Amino acid sequence: MTPLLALSTGVLFATGMYMLLRRSIVKILIGLVLMGHGANLLILTSAGILRGSPPLIPQGEERIADAHADPLPQALILTAIVISFAIVSFACVLVKRAYEIAGTDDTEAMRSSELPIGSDPGGADT
């Protein structure tokens, strides 16, 4: 199972990086989402995939007797998912506004904050 998950992590990072290098901001956003998934899967995989019962202490006992899954990576991933949910939903709004204002989704044309003042950033007429 672990090699398969490791491979999936690699594929997610690779595709995410490929999408990040595209020029369209929507594709960049998709790339970021994929890399986020890759990072979460990496945490799950690198913490060790275990076959065991849920990490709940039975009533009346002090600790878990038999094999159990490690709860910490799952808690970490859950938190990371919630955070990326918030950030990606903001990024969606941002990308949409940027598209509306700039009139393009091409990052090459979105350079008005970098070019010298007064030069035409282009793209607004497309």
Partner 1 sequence: MSAQLLITLPVLIPITGAVLCILAWRSTHAQRAINLTASLALLAAAILLVMRTSAGEIPTVRLGAWPAPVAINFIGDAFSAIMVLLNAIVAVAGALYALGATPKAHERSGYHPLMLSLIGACSGAFTTGDLFNLYVWFEVMLLSSFVLLSLGGSRPQLESAVKYVTLNLLSSFLFLSAIGLTYALVGTLNLAAIAERLAASEDRSLFTPVIGLLLVGFGIKGGLFPFFFWLPASYHTPSPVVSGVFAGLLTKVGVYAIIRTTQLFAPGWSIDGGVIAHALIWISGLTMVTGVLGAAVQQDMRRILSFHIVSQVGYMVMGLAIAGVAFDSAQAPGIDPAQRTALMGAGALALTGTVFYILHHIIVKANLFFVAGIVEQLEGTGELPRIGGLYKRRPLLAALFFIPAMSLSGIPILSGFWGKFILVRAGLESGADIIVAVSLAVSLATLFSMTKIWANVFWAPPPPASPNDTQRPTSPTIAPPTPARTACMYTACGAMALVTIAIGFGAGFAVDLAETAGAQLTDPTPYIQALLPTDAPTDIELTAGEVTP
Partner 2 sequence: MNSVILRTTTVFILPLLLMLSLIVLLRGHNEPGGGFVGGLLASAAFTLYVLAAGAKAARHLLHVHPITLAGAGLLFALISGVMSIVAGHPLFDALWTDTKIIGQVKIGTPLLFDIGVYLTVCGVVCAIAFQLSESAEDARDPSPDEADPEGGTL
- The listed partner (partner 1, partner 2, none) that binds 6, CB under 5 to 8 Å by sort, is none
Residue 124 touches partner 2, criterion: CB under 8 A? no
Q: List the interface residues with partner 2, window 64-83 (CB under 8 A).
A: 82
Q: Which of 96, 108, 111, 126 binds partner 2 (CB under 8 A)?
A: 96
Distance CA 75, CA 101 (A): 39
Q: List the interface residues with partner 2, window 3-62 (CB under 8 A).
A: none
Least separation in angstroms between residue 11's CB and partner 2 is 28
Give, as one character, the DSSP assignment of residue 52.
S
Distance CA 16, CA 3 (A): 20
Q: Which is nearer to partner 2, 13 or 99 (CB)?
A: 99
98 contacts 29 by C-beta, under 8 angstroms: no
Distance CA 75, CA 14 (A): 25
